[in-house]
Amino acid sequence: MRTLGILSLLFVGLASLFMYAVEPETFTTYFRALYWTMTTVVTVGYGDFFPKTDTGRFMTIFIYIVGIGIVGGLISKLVDGVQLVREKKEKGMLDVKETNHTIVFGYGRRSRQVIDALLEKEEVVLIDDLEREPFSHPNFHYVCGDPALESTLTRANIKEAKRAIVLAKHDMNPALADGRTLLIAASIERANPSIYTIVEMMLEEHLDSFEQVKVDEVLLGDETISRMAILAAHHPGMTGVIQNMLTKDGEGLFMIEARREWLTYRDAFIALLDEGATLISDGKHLDLNQRLLEKIPPNSSLFVLCHSDTAKKLGGK
- To the nearest 10°, report the CA torsion of 106, 110, 114, 117: 140
Please report the sign of the dihedral spanned by the C-alpha atoms of residue 186, residue 188, residue 190, residue 195. Answer: negative
Q: What rounded mean pLDDT belongs to the chain?
A: 83
User: Does domain 102-225 fall into CATH 3.40.50.720?
Assistant: yes
pLDDT score, position 203: 83
Higher pLDDT, 105 or 236: 105
Q: What is the mean pLDDT of residues 149-176?
A: 90
85 with 94: CB under 8 angstroms? Answer: yes
| CATH code linked to domain 2-90 | 1.10.287.70
Share of the chain above pLDDT 70, in %: 86
- Indicate if the pLDDT at residue 20 is higher than 60: yes
Q: What is the mean pLDDT of residues 154-171?
A: 90
Choose the CATH number for 247-314 among 3.40.1350, 1.10.1790, 3.30.70, 3.40.50.
Answer: 3.30.70
Q: What is the mean pLDDT of residues 262-270?
A: 90
Domain map of the chain by residue range?
2-90, 102-225, 247-314
pLDDT score, position 142: 94
Higher pLDDT, 228 or 119: 119
| Domains 2-90 and 247-314 fall in the same CATH topology | no
pTM for the full predicted model: 0.61
Maximum average pLDDT range among 58-72, 131-145, 203-217, 294-308? 131-145
Region of poorest pLDDT, from 69-78, 103-112, 260-269, 290-299: 69-78
CA distances from 153 to 85, 89, 104 (A): 20, 16, 11
pLDDT score, position 18: 85
- To the nearest 10°, report the CA torsion of 93, 95, 97, 100: 90
Q: What is the mean pLDDT of residues 13-17?
A: 84
| Long-range own/partner contacts, residues 248-253 (CB < 8 A, 24 or more apart) | 248/308, 249/308, 250/307, 250/308, 251/305, 251/306, 251/307, 251/308, 252/305, 252/308, 252/311, 253/280, 253/303, 253/304, 253/305
Maximum average pLDDT range among 4-13, 151-160, 255-264? 151-160
Confidence of residue 208 (pLDDT cuts 50, 70, 90): confident
Cα angle 124, 130, 135; round to 5: 50
Amino acid at 114: V
Please report the sign of the dihedral spanned by the C-alpha atoms of residue 72, residue 78, residue 84, residue 89. Answer: negative
Q: What is the mean pLDDT of residues 57-77?
A: 75
- Indicate if the pLDDT at residue 92 is higher than 60: yes
Amino acid at 184: I
CA neighbor of 123 nearest in space, from 105, 144, 137? 137
pLDDT score, position 29: 87
